[in-house]
Amino acid sequence: MIFKNLQYLAALAHEQHFARAAARCGVTQPTLSAGIKLLEEELGILVVQRGQRFQGFTPEGAQVLEWAHRILADCESLQQEVSLMKAGLTGRLRIGAIPVTLPIVSLLTGPFAQQFPQVTITVNSMTSIDIQRGLDDFSLDGGLTYLDNEPLQRVRALELYRERYYLFTPSEGSLADHETISWHDAASAQLCLLTPDMQNRRIIDGHFHEAGTSVSPLLETNSILTLCAHLRSGRWSTVLPQPFLYLLGEIDHIRAIPLIQPSATHAIGLVIPDREPLTPSGRELHRIAAALDVASAVEQQPLPA
C-alpha cells in the first residue's frame, strides 16, 4: 500500500474538495485522483463517491478513512519517538482549546516549549465537539475543555483547575457597588455573551435558570476577542471565569464581581486520547501538565494593567 495515497485520502476528507486537497498535498489534482483510484483498486472497494465534484465517502470508504488517519498518526508518532531517542523531540504539538481556556494555555505551552524547543506548537480555539472529533481522528494531540459538563468520550482526563464565574460590569453602572452578586441580579445587566453553541454559554444559561431567571443578551459572539473588546468599551457587561482576571488584569472602568447563588464551579482539564501508544508530543504534554500547579496560577492576583 502506497503511503502517500493514504495522505491524499486524509487531505480530501479535510478539504472536502479535490483541488484544495491536491494543493494541500503539493500535487496536481489528476495526481491526487489517480492515487486514490489506485488505492481503491488495491483494496478492491469503492472509497469515494464520484461525480463532477466531491460527494463524500462510501460506507466502506469511511472505514478506510479511519484506518488512514490511524496509520498516518502512528507513522508521525514513530518519527517523533525516533527523534526523541536521537536528539530531542521534533515535529508538532496540536492542542484544541475551548475559548474560555485560552487565557491559561501558555501555562502549559511555555514549559513545553522550554523543554522541547524543536517542536512546533499549534493551538486552535475549538468547541468541545470539535475537540472530540480532533482527538478521534488523530488531528489533535490534546485538548483543554470541561471535564464535568458534557464530558468527552474515549479520553484520559487530568483536572487543572476549577472554573468560577464573575460578572464584569462598568464601574459606573448600577451593579458596580456589589461585593458579590447573585445570578438573578446579574441578569438585569446589559449583557454580551458567547453564542449558545458554546459550552460555556450553555453552562451560564443553566446557572441563570437555577437562579429562577433567564437572559436575552443584546449581543452574542463566538469570539472571546470580540467579547473582551465590547467589555473594554465600558457599555457592556459579561460573565467570564476567573482566568480572565489573570489575562486582562485590572481594566479601567470595569469591576469583576464574584457571582453567587448559586456559587458554581466546573472542572477544566487536559484531555488526551485513551489509546496506546500516545503521540510522544501528547504524552510529554500530559507529563508536564501533571507536574504543574495550574490552579494556583489561575488564583493568583490579576496582572497589573
R_g (Cα) of the chain, nearest Å: 23
Taking only the tens place, the pLDDT of each residue in 168-227 is 999 888 898 899 999 999 999 999 999 998 889 999 999 999 999 999 899 999 888 898
Separation of alpha carbons 40 and 30, rounded Å: 15
Q: Coil, helix or strand for 143? A: strand
- How many contiguous H segments (helices) and E segments (strands) does the chain have? 12, 11
Separation of alpha carbons 159 and 240, rounded Å: 19
Q: Is the pLDDT of residue 87 over 90?
A: no
Q: What's the chain's average pLDDT?
A: 89
Q: What is the pLDDT of residue 108?
A: 97
pLDDT (mean) for 150-174:
92
Beta strand pairing call for 119-125 and 142-146: unpaired
Which three-class secondary structure string do you get for 152-175? CCCEEEEEEEEECEEEEEECCCCC
The domains found in the chain, sorted by start residue, are 3-73 (1.10.10.10), 88-162+267-298 (3.40.190.10), 165-260 (3.40.190.290)
Q: What is the pLDDT of residue 301?
A: 52
Separation of alpha carbons 213 and 205, rounded Å: 9
* CA distance to 95, 116, 136, 147, 291, per residue, from 302 (Å): 25, 29, 36, 25, 23
